[in-house]
Structure 1
């Protein structure tokens, strides 16, 4: 995946990157038919 590198960035800029990774992982899990665990 093409994502911004969070290295050295302030927390308020890293959180959206983290959230985007989470969205992409959940979408991939859905695509593969892997059930998501409750968090």
Structure 2
């Protein structure tokens, strides 16, 4: 049971890391899109 809790916690942390990475990627793409619009 204790090992399962640890695995569950690690899974949650990994999910959060991926969510943060995805958000940063979206922000980066949005910034690039704004930059392209500004150039045009």
- Please tell me whether Structure 1 or Structure 2 has the larger radius of gyration of its CA atoms: 2
Q: Which runs of 5+ in 1 are unaligned?
A: 1-8, 35-39
Q: Which runs of 5+ in 2 are unaligned?
A: 1-5, 32-40
Task: Give runs of ≥4 in structure 1 deviating > 2 Å.
Answer: none
C-alpha distance in structure 2 between counterparts of 1:26 and 1:16, whole Å: 15
Aligned residues: 26
Calculate the TM-score normalised by the size of structure 1.
Answer: 0.58
Calculate the TM-score normalised by the size of structure 2.
Answer: 0.57
Q: How does 1:1-39 map to 2 (within 5 A)?
A: 10-33=7-30
**The structure with more helix, counted as a fraction of residues:** 2
